[in-house]
Every structure is written in structure tokens, then in C-alpha cells.
Structure 1
Amino acid sequence: MKQRILTAIGFGALYIIFILIGSFPFALFIALIAAIAFMELCAMKKISPSSVPAIIGALFVVMFVLQASLFEFVKYLPLIRLSAIFIIIMLIYMVFSKNRFSFDQAAHIFLAAFYIGFSFYLFVQLRYSGLAEVFFVQILIWCTDSGAYFVGRKLGKRKLSPHISPNKSVEGAIGGVVIAAIAAIIIELIVPGSLFPSWGILLGISVVISVFGQLGDLVESAIKRYYGVKDSGNILPGHGGLLDRFDSLIFILPILFIFNVIG
């Protein structure tokens, strides 16, 4: 427990510092997190992080995330063109690997790279939109996790998804949504100016973030259960891997993009 707390304080402080700094240092920090999270997904599939496809995939993720930065040497490659180049490279490597690298592995790498790269790209975009927006999303994720945990421990009876995550309960999930909504109201009252044009939209977005954040956690649990691993990695002692810490955020950001909250 002590190690878990120290890790949370250390990494949490570093994470918040880079959020406050913003700009290119934040984009670079997030690109590094994204690359490591991608490598963790590769490792689940038994694809060595030091293999050529994994390294190329990590570079793709970094370039994808940095698309949101102000640096023209990365911006000149549109996302669709960058994705097309990556797919072609994977397929060509499959041909010349003499069946050591399969289409199944290529598909895994591309989906992992696109999912993680696109989500963290949106996170950098969100930071460029403003500091309040980033903290709004992140605080609601933290409040959802804490609310679901404590309400679930106190009142949890009905299993939410026992085949994937047996410790989560329906009562805990509802508690997470309620706590997130309360946190959203408090933030709106504290932050000068309105983050959203109406209270209805504010509460609607808070529910979306809370519900889909919990779903994102279940998605990663399903992935880990399929590959038979407890944690995505061990880079954070007591917490597992970076994918374990950012699973909700990674899933939420594309949802907010779909709802046009992130442009």
C-alpha cells in the first residue's frame, strides 16, 4: 500500500506539472505515455517491444499524438496519409518476414496504435483548448473511479460485469455517475466563466464522461482477461502499467470527439 501511495503521488505530481506547462512539453510527455501504453498492448499479444513492427508502431503513435502540436515538421503529414503509410509498411513487412509476422499481428498493432494514438492526440488537442477543459475531464474521471469504488464497497450487491470484472457492481457504477455529476456542478461554480452553455449540457457531458469512463475500464479489463494478464505492465509500482491508469481517459476522448465536445 505504501508503494502504491508513493507511486500515485510521484507520478500524479509529474502528470499535473506537465498539464500546467502545456504546449509542446505536454504534447511530448503525452506522446511518451502513448508510446509506452502501445508497447504494453503489444506485449499482451506476445509481440516484442523491441521488434521492428512494434518500434514502427510506437513511432506512428508518437507522430500521431504530435499532430496536435504546433510543429510544422510533424503537421505536414495528415492523419489519413500517416495511417495509410503505416498500414502499407506493416503489410510489406509481413511479406518479407517469412511468416514470422502475421496479418493478425499487423491488425493488432494497427488497431492498438490507432486507438491509443488518436485518443492521446485528442487529449493534446483538449489541452490546447484550455486548462479548465483538461482538468474538468480528468477530475470527473477521478471522481467516477473513487465514487464507484467507495459506493460499491458500501452498497454493492449486483455484479456489473462478473465475466470481465467481478469486483464491480451496478450500485458502484451508479454511485460513480452521481459523484461525477456533483463534481461537475462544483467545478462549474468554482471556475470563472461557463465551461458549457447550460446546466443541462454540463450534466449531460458529466454523465457521458462517467458512464463511458467506466466502460473504458471494462474494455481494458476484457482485453487483459482475453490475454490472461493481471496488469498491462509494471512501470508504475503498485499500479501496473500506463494503460491501466489511462484506460478510462483513452476511451472517453473519442466519445467526446463524436459528441463534438473536442474539435
Structure 2
Amino acid sequence: MKQRIITGVFAGAVYLFLLWLGSLPFALFTALIAVISFLELAAMKKLRRTSTVIIIASVFVGLIVIGAVFETTSSLSAPSYFIRLLVGLSLVLLSATVLSKNRFQFEQASYVLFAVFYIGFSFYLLVHLRYQSLPLLLFVQIIIWATDSGAYFVGRKWGRHKLAQHISPNKTIEGSAGGILCAILCAIIFQSILQTALFPSWVFLLVISLLIAIAGQLGDLAESAVKRYFMVKDSGAILPGHGGLFDRFDSLIFVLPLLFLLGVID
């Protein structure tokens, strides 16, 4: 527990400092997190991180994330940029199945393509949202952290009924409810302290907070399902006491695409 707290405080401080700094430093930091998260997913699939295909795919992940910077400083069209990158990667992956004489198979190519899209696009949205609105990004991040913390402590003290035993045996319904209540409380406090309104009304604020809290837990469970499928405990070991970066950002990378679909992120 002590190591977990020390790692969490240090990593959180670095993340928040670069988040406050913004601009290119935060984009490069986010791209690095995205690439490492992708490599963790590749390792789960038993794909060598040093293989040519995975190295190329990692470059595409970085390009997708960094694209958020150039989108704000040029006439670059985000949809066109994404389509070209994904089409290009698709051609590279299909070519790899031929050049490797099918040692790199179509099923592996599909896995890599989805991983690049899911990881790359979610972290692209993180950088994009930083350019769009720092207060909104802080709000989203705080709600996710509040949900995680509330669920953990309430679950440990009062958790009795399993939430998804076949996927994550330690999570409970009581913990999930505690996480949601903690998220809503933090949302009210955050908006009360902030000088300007993030959303048109308090009702809208509470609805978005509820959706973030639920989606964040769903993202956590989705990552647990992936780990259960590949029979691994953690996605990596880069953060002592916490596991991998995919473990730490699983909620955020699920929440951000949802907010994009809802139009909260332009």
C-alpha cells in the first residue's frame, strides 16, 4: 500500500504539472503514455514489442495523438488525417501478412488495428480537450479519480455484493454506488469553486457526472475483461504498485470517446 501511494502521488504530480503546462510538452507526454499503453496491449497478445510491425504501429499511435497539436495550428482536417493514417496502417498490416508468409496473421493484424485506433484516438481526445478547455479536462479527470477512490474505499468497508465476479472479483455493487456518489459530490464542489459554468445547468452537470462515473467503471471492467481473457494480472509493471499505464488510464480512455459522441468534446 505504501509503495502504491508513493507511486500514485509522484506520477499524479508529474501528470498534473504537464497538464497545467499544456501545449507541446503535454502532447508529447501523452503520446508517450499512448505508445506504452499500446505496447502493453501488444504484449498481452504475445506480439513482440521489437517486431517491425509493432514498431510501425507504435509510430502510428504517436502520430494520431500528436495530430491534435497540428490540428490547432494548421488547416489540418482531423477526420481526413485519421482516415489517411488508419488506411495507411491497414495497408501496412495486410502487407505484413503477405511478407511474413502469414506468420503475422489477419487476426493479429485486426487486433493491432483496433488497439491503435482505441488507444490512439482516446489519447488524441485527451490532448484535444486540453487545447479546448483546461477546466473541462480537469473536471473529467477529477470525476474519474473520485469514482475510483470512492469505489475503492466504500467497497473495502461496506462491499458485500459482487458487481462482476466473472471479470473482476474484488469489485462490489456497494463500491460502485459509493464511487458514483463520490463523483457527484466532487462535481458539485468543483463547479462551486470554479468561476464560470462548465455546463448550461446544474442538471446537465449532474447528468454528465453520472455518465462519466458509470462509463469510467465500465472502462475499468472492460480492461479487466481483456486481462482476464489473456490471463494476466496487470497490463504492465511500469508503475510499482499500480501495474501498467493501460491499467491507470483504462477509465479515461473509455470516457473520452463517450464524451466525444455526446458532443461534450467538440
1:216-245 deviations in whole A, cap 9, x for unaligned?
000000000000100000111111100000
Displacement of 1:36 in angstroms is 0.3
> Counterpart in 1 of 2:15?
15
> Counterpart in 2 of 1:150?
153
Counterpart secondary structure, 2:69: coil
Counterpart-to-counterpart distance in 1, 2:184 and 2:108: 41
> Counterpart in 2 of 1:41?
41
Percent identity at matched positions? 56
Displacement of 1:2 in angstroms is 2.7
Counterpart-to-counterpart distance in 2, 1:73 and 1:97: 38
Counterpart-to-counterpart distance in 2, 1:181 and 1:21: 27
1:37-73 deviations in whole A, cap 9, x for unaligned?
0000000000011111111111110000111103769
> TM-score, normalised to structure 2's length?
0.96
Counterpart-to-counterpart distance in 1, 2:150 and 2:219: 16
> Counterpart in 2 of 1:176?
179
Counterpart secondary structure, 2:146: helix
Q: 1:56 and 2:56 equivalent?
A: yes
Measured at CA, do residues 250 and 169 of structure 1 come closer, stay the same or move farther in structure 2, by a change above 3 Å?
Answer: same
Gaps of 5+ in 1: none
> Counterpart in 2 of 1:31?
31
Q: 1:100 and 2:103 equivalent?
A: yes
**Contact 1:144 / 1:180 at 8 angstroms: preserved in 2?**
yes
Counterpart-to-counterpart distance in 2, 1:245 and 1:74: 34
Counterpart secondary structure, 1:166: strand
Of 250-259 and 8-17, deviating more is 8-17
> Counterpart in 2 of 1:234?
237
Match of 1:212 among 196, 211, 215: 215
Counterpart-to-counterpart distance in 1, 2:75 and 2:122: 17
Counterpart secondary structure, 1:233: coil
1:130-169 deviations in whole A, cap 9, x for unaligned?
2111110111011001111111122212110000001111
Q: 1:261 and 2:241 equivalent?
A: no
> TM-score, normalised to structure 1's length?
0.97
> Counterpart in 1 of 2:91?
88
* Paired residues, number: 263
1:199-228 deviations in whole A, cap 9, x for unaligned?
011000000100000000000000000001
Displacement of 1:5 in angstroms is 2.1
> Counterpart in 2 of 1:141?
144
Counterpart-to-counterpart distance in 2, 1:69 and 1:100: 37
Of 73-82 and 178-187, deviating more is 73-82
Counterpart-to-counterpart distance in 2, 1:136 and 1:122: 15
> Counterpart in 2 of 1:248?
251
Gaps of 5+ in 2: none
Of 61-70 and 210-219, deviating more is 61-70
Q: 1:128 and 2:131 equivalent?
A: yes
Counterpart secondary structure, 2:70: coil
One-letter amino acid matched to 2:179: G
Counterpart secondary structure, 1:101: coil
Displacement of 1:74 in angstroms is 11
